[in-house]
């Protein structure tokens, strides 16, 4: 979202601040810098500045954070490791989430008002509670004063607010809509996918809902799914199993593969998920879609909260008595999930062999 040199500059500033503050806890700082141009991304990853930077900074800082190379000065590896460069079209690609500071300076002014109105709520969605948004000198959050409050209007620095009422779901980028090759449908059928999904969801599924393909890759999201899903650490992964919160992982995959195998809706009742707000009991419904035709082959996952007052007591009753027991339970779940996936694979191979024999 900004020039690659700024990303390294920020990393150096944050490193200096941590060295001065000497916090009691270890802090891991990760900066995500994005651009549309692959060539610019490759150049940025090298982290090589021109030799002229020696005139603009002290010798002490130059020696601390740079090493001399043939083409100028290269940022040292520890600073380069703090920055991840990625190609991204913020209008079309899935957003980064759980961000503390988001800088998008002097970009909105080149976009239409309609797109700007979609991006500001998306920035709010991407930021952590109390996170900060930096915009360009000629940019603002517009009418979204319920989402951000100004901290410094002159510098265009805003802080994320928690709205009292969520008026409407965030419109996520269109990359959640699958390409034609994913669903093997003609273009004229796929172009109305989002409207068809909206209609189906509003008609049958008012809770938080996720539309995925046969592998669990997310195609479309509606409602507030943050209680059940969160982005996995590391490289962006929009697979629903990778994003499942603690307590849902093996339950979600077991229900999913069972529904796909049986080609009918399967529900897992009273699953307990752990999130920042504490334990929560939820019902998971997985429905392989057959109609409308444009959605055929996709899978709808619906999360419905179950109102039970004594969730904490329920967790205690399950026997989580020691760290060793917890680890044993996790290993058993992983083993069960692996066995189930092998069973599904074996069944698919058997069906393929039978179809091959019958064709001969």
Residue 159 has pLDDT above 60, yes or no: yes
What does the buried/exposed string (b/e) look like for 18-46 if buried means 16 or more CB atoms within 10 Å of the residue's CB?
eeeeeeeeeeeeebebbbeeeeebeebee
| pLDDT class of 320 with cuts at 50, 70, 90 | very low
Q: Cβ distance 229 to 244 under 8 Å?
A: yes
- Mean pLDDT across the stretch 150-155? 93
Q: Cβ distance 247 to 280 under 8 Å?
A: no
pLDDT computed for residue 192 by the predictor: 60
| pLDDT class of 2 with cuts at 50, 70, 90 | very low
Burial classification of residue 127, based on how many CB atoms lie within 10 Å of its CB (0-12 exposed, 13-18 middle, 19 or more buried) = buried
Q: Which of 253, 307, 262 is nearest to 281 (CA)?
A: 307
Residue 157 has pLDDT above 90, yes or no: yes
Between 232 and 52, the higher pLDDT residue: 52
Between 164 and 50, the higher pLDDT residue: 50
| pLDDT class of 227 with cuts at 50, 70, 90 | confident
Helices 38-46, 4-21: axis angle to 10 degrees equals: 40
pLDDT computed for residue 147 by the predictor: 92
Helices 249-262, 323-359: axis angle to 10 degrees equals: 20
pLDDT one-digit tens code per residue, 26-82: 777 889 888 888 888 888 999 999 999 999 889 999 999 999 999 999 999 999 989
Domains of the chain: 4-160 (3.40.50.150), 177-318 (3.30.450.20)
Q: Which of 166, 170, 148 is nearest to 157 (CA)?
A: 148
pLDDT computed for residue 236 by the predictor: 64
- Mean pLDDT across the stretch 253-257? 86
Distance of CA 312 to the CA centre of its chain: 28
- Mean pLDDT across the stretch 189-210? 61
The per-type count for the chain, helices as H runs and strands as E runs, is 12, 14
Least confident residue range of 44-48, 237-241, 305-309, 341-345: 341-345
Q: Which residues, including other chains, have CB under 8 Å from residue 201's CB and lie 6 or more apart?
A: 209, 222, 300
pLDDT computed for residue 60 by the predictor: 92
Q: Is 0.85 topped by the overall pTM?
A: no
Which of 64-68, 169-173, 186-190, 199-203 has the highest average model confidence (pLDDT)?
Answer: 64-68
What does the buried/exposed string (b/e) look like for 186-215 if buried means 16 or more CB atoms within 10 Å of the residue's CB?
eeeebeebbebbeebbeeebebbbbbbbee
Burial classification of residue 1, based on how many CB atoms lie within 10 Å of its CB (0-12 exposed, 13-18 middle, 19 or more buried) = middle
Q: Which of 175, 196, 179 is nearest to 187 (CA)?
A: 179
Q: Cβ distance 292 to 196 under 8 Å?
A: yes
Grouping H, G, I as helix, E, B as strand and the rest as coil, residue 170 is coil
Between 247 and 136, the higher pLDDT residue: 136
Residue 3 has pLDDT above 60, yes or no: yes
Q: Which of 144, 332, 311 is nearest to 249 (CA)?
A: 332
Q: Distances from the Cα of 155 to the Cαs of 3, 117, 297, in angstroms? A: 18, 21, 49
pLDDT computed for residue 200 by the predictor: 59
Q: What is the DSSP letter of 248?
A: T
Between 160 and 200, the higher pLDDT residue: 160
Residue 105 has pLDDT above 70, yes or no: yes
pLDDT computed for residue 165 by the predictor: 57
- Mean pLDDT across the stretch 167-181? 50
Pair of tokens at residue 246 = 């603690």
Which run of H or E residues covers position 222? strand 218-222
- Mean pLDDT across the stretch 10-20? 90
- Mean pLDDT across the stretch 79-107? 85
Phi-psi region of 247 (alpha: psi -120 to 50; beta: other; left: phi over 0): left
Q: Distances from the Cα of 71 to the Cαs of 30, 80, 305, in angstroms? A: 27, 17, 58
> Where do we find the tokens 């650490």?
233
Residue 177 has pLDDT above 50, yes or no: no
pLDDT computed for residue 233 by the predictor: 64
């Amino acid at each position: 979202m900004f020039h690659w040199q700024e990303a390294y500059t920020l990393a150096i500033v944050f490193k200096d601040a941590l060295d001065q503050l000497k916090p009691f806890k270890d802090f891991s700082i990760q900066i995500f810098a994005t651009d549309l141009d692959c060539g610019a991304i490759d150049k940025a990853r090298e982290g090589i500045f021109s030799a002229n930077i020696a005139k603009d900074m002290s010798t002490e800082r130059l020696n601390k954070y740079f090493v001399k190379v043939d083409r100028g000065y290269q940022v040292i590896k520890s600073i380069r490791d703090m920055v991840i460069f990625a190609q991204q079209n913020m209008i079309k690609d899935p957003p980064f989430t759980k961000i503390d500071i988001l800088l998008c300076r002097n970009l909105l002014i080149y976009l239409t008002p309609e797109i700007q109105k979609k991006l500001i709520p998306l920035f709010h969605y991407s930021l952590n509670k109390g996170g900060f948004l930096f915009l360009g000198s000629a940019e603002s959050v517009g009418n979204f004063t319920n989402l951000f409050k100004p901290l410094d209007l002159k510098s265009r620095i805003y802080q994320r607010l928690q709205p009292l009422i969520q008026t409407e779901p965030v419109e996520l980028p269109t990359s959640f809509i699958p390409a034609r090759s994913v669903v093997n449908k003609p273009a004229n059928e796929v172009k109305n996918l989002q409207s068809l999904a909206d209609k189906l969801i509003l008609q049958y599924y008012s809770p938080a809902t996720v539309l995925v393909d046969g592998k669990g890759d997310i195609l479309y999201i509606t409602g507030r799914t943050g209680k059940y899903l969160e982005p996995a650490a590391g490289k962006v992964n929009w697979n629903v199993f990778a994003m499942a919160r603690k307590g849902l992982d093996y339950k979600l995959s077991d229900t999913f593969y069972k529904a796909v195998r049986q080609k009918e809706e399967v529900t897992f009742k009273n699953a307990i998920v752990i999130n920042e707000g504490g334990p929560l009991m939820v019902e998971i419904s997985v429905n392989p879609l057959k109609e409308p035709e444009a959605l055929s082959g996709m899978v709808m996952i619906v999360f419905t909260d179950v109102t039970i007052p004594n969730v904490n007591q329920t967790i205690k009753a399950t026997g989580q008595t020691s760290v060793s027991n917890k680890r044993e339970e996790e290993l058993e779940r992983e083993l069960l999930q692996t066995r189930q996936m092998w069973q599904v694979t074996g069944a698919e191979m058997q069906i393929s062999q039978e179809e091959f024999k019958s064709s001969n």
